[in-house]
Amino acid sequence: MRNNTAILIFANSAEKEAEKKSFLSKEVFSKLNAHTLKTAKKSGLPYFLFTEKNQVGGTFAERFSNAIETLFTKGFSNIIAIGNDTPHLKTHHLINTLQQLEKNQLVLGPSKDGGFYLMGIQKESFNKKTFLNLPWQTRFLNSCIAKISSSKNLKIKFLEILNDLDSEEDIKKIIYSFKTLSASILKLLKALFFIDKKTNVYQKNSFNNTFTSLYFNKGSPLIFA
């Protein structure tokens, strides 16, 4: 199973992502990219990084579908696709997906916004035309995939739900989460807020825009949502 399974890291460079999400920074996504690569490497599986430099297509659906198709044409039978905006993604999620693909055609790691942070898929279950017509970057994505899988009698396994970074509110949710998180990433996220000593609640720094323009660049595109 390990020999025919590859990890697809579908994530733009920090510089490119800085053009998309203004509430985060280039430095945050540099750390997230490094975390994602480290997580993939620790799995022991072959992994391939697709940034804006080697993605092909005019839309997200086209670029993502083409990247998956490219890895299947390399001879892999299973693909595990991940992005770079889920700080709580761990190597055990990848290993679990690898194991689940032995008995399921599809594995999804759902994010709380209705998208997913991870997708494992068998080659026989990949239909490019269907992929291109999915409601990418909407809250209906997971439910749509589940319905299509059911209609085609495909076995699908869902992993635990995680937060990805698509809004300022997501930053707070991740900061307050009891899940383990890279100390360097947590520090950068906390730097975007201050703690109200009366309520012990993180509030957005009023000087954040000036701070980010001087020290950070701007954030990230929506990867899987």
Average pLDDT value for residue range 48-72: 97
Which CATH number belongs to the domain containing residue 170 in this structure?
3.90.550.10
Task: Please give the residue range of the domain that contains residue 40.
Answer: 1-225
195 or 108: whose pLDDT is higher? 108
pLDDT in tens, 135-190: 998 999 999 999 999 999 999 999 999 999 988 889 989 988 888 999 999 999 88
Average pLDDT value for residue range 32-43: 97
**What percent of the chain stands above pLDDT 70?**
87
**152 Cβ neighbours under 8 A, 6+ residues apart:** none
| pLDDT value at residue 225 | 29
Structure token digits, residue 137: 């970057």
What is the rounded distance in angstroms from the CA atom of residue 221 to the CA atom of residue 225? Answer: 10
pLDDT of 2 > 90? The answer is: no
Q: Is 144 helix (H, G, I), strand (E, B) or coil?
A: helix
What is the rounded distance in angstroms from the CA atom of residue 78 to the CA atom of residue 66? Answer: 15
**Residue 152 per-residue DSSP state:** T
How many structural domains compose the chain? 1
| pLDDT value at residue 198 | 65
| pLDDT value at residue 178 | 82
pLDDT in tens, 64-120: 999 999 999 999 999 999 999 999 999 999 999 999 999 999 999 999 989 999 999
Global pTM reads 0.86
**Residue 106 per-residue DSSP state:** E
| pLDDT value at residue 192 | 81
75 by Cβ neighbours in 10 Å (0-12 / 13-18 / 19+) ranks as: exposed
| pLDDT value at residue 210 | 36
Reported as a pLDDT band with limits 50, 70 and 90, residue 21 is confident
| pLDDT value at residue 218 | 26
Longest dimension (CA), the chain: 58
